Every structure is written in structure tokens, then in C-alpha cells.
Amino acid sequence: MQCNYFGICGSCRDYESGYEGQLEHKLSLVREMFTPFYKGEIEIARSPEAHYRSRAEFKIYHNDGVISYAMSRLDRQGAVMIDKCSIVSPVIASVMERLLIEVSDLELGHKLFGVDFLSASNGEICVSMLYHRALDAEWKTKALVLQERLGVNIIGRSRKQKEVLSRDYITETLTISGETYRYVHIENSFTQPNASVNEQMIEWSLSQLEGIGGDLLELYCGAGNFTIPFAKKFDRVLATEISKASINAAKQNMELNGVDNIDFVRLSAEEFTQALDGVREFRRLEGLRVSDYELKTLFVDPPRAGLGEEPCAFASRFDHLLYISCNPETLLRDLELLSKTHTVTAMAAFDQFPYTHHLEMGVKLTKRG
């Protein structure tokens, strides 16, 4: 990948040896980390070398009435002004080039401090404009013109204010093991940023669930990124997530893909454990009998903090455990607990964020005895 800002911009921190070099550097570290638990081959999901990010956030810098994009510097000494970014999707790259020209022309730059982009492979894009001022009728009139000129979905945000001019979501299409899935991705909520690696991540996960059957429990399900394809592998799926917006999107995505064997429930992992063990009753589970499920498989994709002691104790009850981790260090900590009852039978590495030190991991564990 060619970039004029390598070594200056703080977004990409491992670039000197090229794509394969940075990937091998990360892989060598995780191979050494996880050797005590797994000595087999770690499968690798590579990313496109450029234009792979479907979600991006930029600061806006003002200088003598001229606005430009900015990123934090690699040396943490302020910001660096940029006019393009080689890691964003082609859709975002195209809109970036034109957006600030039109913003200046329409005088929409006053108190603008950030712009977030969310794109789909079919060309749909949401552009969220972040302000340090209230957005009034004049802003809306001008922003509607901006939206028409660029052919995008504009969202305006300021303190306790959100103005949606058309819609605040895009519909992404993923091809997974030869099948097509569609997902509603909502602006300002979590989505997988690298569509190509996401497809590979779901495909690998599906391969680890082959032939198990029964019912599946998923914790931290988000908007159903994994849940929807997983549903074809199981009789029923029970999926939990604490975010109300994500649960609503997950239910919409289930309908969008014609899936009818998933129950999405807005509970934290800790709350679900309490419900399953009969410690507490929750109105959000009204009409749903958790005890009716044949839950012998657990899938988790927790935040960077990982699972921790109590959730690991809960996970150890299951015959089959599939764990997607966005933080190898907390995964290592959790495996020290889970390995007391389970054996690691497969492992994969997903390069969601090339040219950084970040690497996501997948682990399949099977209960001993």
C-alpha cells in the first residue's frame, strides 16, 4: 500500500516491511503466546492490502478559514493534516475528496470538528458530521443540498442532538460460503470494519460448528453478524446483547435474511447466567423458557476486556465453545482458565487492522472426557 503519511499519521504503526511483513510480525507473537495451549497450525485470514476499511473517523482541522481532515500523529505530538486515506473503502475515498469542497461552498464548516463515514460494498454511505454547536433550520437546509450533491446519507450530530436527513443506516451484503447475507448497519453503532476479513471470520467459525447440532447460545451477539449465518447450523439459537439498538438491528437483520429460529434477548452475559440458573427473573425473557433449549454449544465475541473469571466458569459448562477475541492478551488470560476443562482444537488469526499491532483471534475448544 502506498501512503504519503506513513511514519507521521498514527493510524498505521507497522508499515516498513509491507503487508506480509507486518502480518508475519503479528503472527510470530501470537504463535509464541499460545504455544502452551495449541501447537497446531493457526489458520490466517488476510486482508486486502489497501482500501479495506468500511468505517472511518476523521478529525476536522480549521486553519485561516480552510478546513481539512486530520489524524493524531504517530509521535503523539498533535495532529497531521491529510487529504486522502489509503485504508478506507473506495466509496469513502471518493466521498472524502468531494465532501470538504462542498462543505466549504455551502458554509457548513462552522464549528465542525469531526466526520465519520460508514459504507457498504454496493456504494451506500452514511456521513456523520459532528459539531460544537446546535444544528438549526439553516443548517438542515444547507445539509439537504449537500446530501443531494454527493448522493449520500447525511447525519448531523451535536450535544444531545441528532439530525437524520434521510436515513442513518446502510445495508451491507456479505458472501459467506457461497451464500449471500444482508445486514443493516446503523450509524454510530458497532460494525465489523473490514468486510473481507469479516467474511473469512464467519466462514472459519461456521466450519468449526459443522456437525454439532442441537441449540446454540451466543453472548455479545451485537447486530447478528455471526448469529444469522450460524442459525442454519442449529435447531435454535438464543442470542443475548446488552445494547438495545443492536438488538433491534439484529431482529431486523433476522427478518431481512428470512431466518426464524433465533431468539434475540437484551441481557448482559451476567444477567443471562442468572436467568439460566434461576437466580433472577427478567421481564425481558417473558414468554421464553430458557430451560427448553438444548444448549451444548456456546459462542462468544466479547469486548477487549475478554470474559474474565465468572463468565469463563459459565463457559466451562458447555461441550463446545467457540471464542472470537479482539484482544490476544485477554484471550490468553481466559484460556488459562478454560484449559482446565477444555482442549483447544483449532485456532485462527484475522487481520482486521493491517499495519497496526492489532490482530483478532478465533479459538475452538472442546470439553475433555
The residues assigned a catalytic role are 326, 360
How large is the greatest C-alpha to C-alpha distance in the chain, in angstroms? 70
* Beta-ladder partners of 81: 70
DSSP assignment letter at 9: B
> CB–CB of 350/359 below 8 Å?
yes
Q: Which three cell numbers stand for residue 164?
A: 437524520
Angle at 47 between CA 44 and CA 48, to 5 degrees: 145
CA end-to-end distance (rounded Å), the chain? 48
In this structure, are residues 100 and 108 in contact, taking their beta carbons and an 8 Å threshold? no
Map grid coordinates 451485537 to a residue: 222
Asked if 147 contacts 140 with a C-beta cutoff of 8 angstroms, the reply is no
Q: Which of 128-134's residues contact partners 24+ apart within 8 Å by CB, and which partners?
A: 128/155, 128/156, 128/157, 128/187, 128/188, 129/103, 129/154, 129/155, 129/156, 129/157, 130/157, 130/158, 131/156, 131/157, 131/158, 132/158, 132/159, 133/158, 134/158, 134/159, 134/161
Q: Give the 3-state secondary structure of residue 54.
A: coil
